[in-house]
Amino acid sequence: MKMKIFSLLSPFFLLVTFVACGTTDSNQKAKQEANNQIKPLATKNLKNAKRAYIAGGCFWGMEELFRKQKGVLDTEVGYIGGDNQNPTYDNHPGHAEALEITYDSTATNFREILDYFYRIHNPTTVDRQGNDRGSSYRSAIFYQNEAEKKIAQEVIGIVDQSKRWDGKVVTKLEPYVKFWPAEEEHQDYLLKHPNGYTCHYERFGSFLDRKE
C-alpha cells in the first residue's frame, strides 16, 4: 500500500500536524465532544434502511461530509475490492479506502448519494485524490445489483455532460463482494481530530438540478 504523501513537509507543517493529532488536553476535550456528536443509528428508520458503498480518496474526509447529509443514518469506513481477507490499514492490497453509508430510503436515494459523491471528490484522477496516490484512493462505486449499476452509469453520464470537471470521469464500477470495517481509530476520525487531514470539500451544487 502507498501511504498518504504530504507535499509540504516543512517544519511548520510538521508542527501543525503534531498539534492537530497530539494528545494534549484540548485534543482530549475535542475527542470527548466528538464522541458526543457521533450520530446513533436511527433505529426507527431501519425498516427503510439501505446501504451504499463508495470510494474516492481518504475515507476520513468522505465520512465527515456524508454523515451530515439528508437521510444518512450511519457511516462506517473500511476496505473493499481487494485481494486479502481481514484487511488492515497497513495491509489491504487492492482494497480501496471506502465508505459504507446506511441511509433512509424514504428521505434520500442512491442517485442523490452519488450526486453528492461527485461534488466532493475529483473523479477524473486515476488512483489519486489530493496528495494521496495508489489504488487505495481510486474513485469507485461498488454496486450491489444491476439497478445500482444502471443508476451509477446514468449519474456518470450526467457528470460528464456537465463539464464541471476538467476531464472525463474515471470512476470504476465494481461489483460489491464484502466490506471490511476499518480499525476503530479510523472511524469518525475527523470528529476525533477536528484539524486532521482531508482533501474533500463541496465544489459544486447538485448535478441533478438540471435533470430532475
**Residue 39: Cβ within 10 Å count:** 13
CB atoms within 10 A of CB 144: 14
Establish whether 58 is a catalytic residue.
yes
Residue 66 and residue 112: Cα distance in Å, rounded? 11
Q: How many CB atoms lie within 10 A of CB 190?
A: 19
Nearest residue to 89 via CA among 81, 79, 99, 98: 79
- Per annotation, catalytic residue among 52, 54, 55, 58: 58
Coil, strand, or helix at residue 76? strand
- Tell me the pairing of strands 72-80 and 49-56: unpaired
In the numeric block, the cell 469506513 is attached to 77
How many Å apart are CA 126 and CA 134, to the nearest integer?
A: 9
Q: Catalytic residue numbers?
A: 58
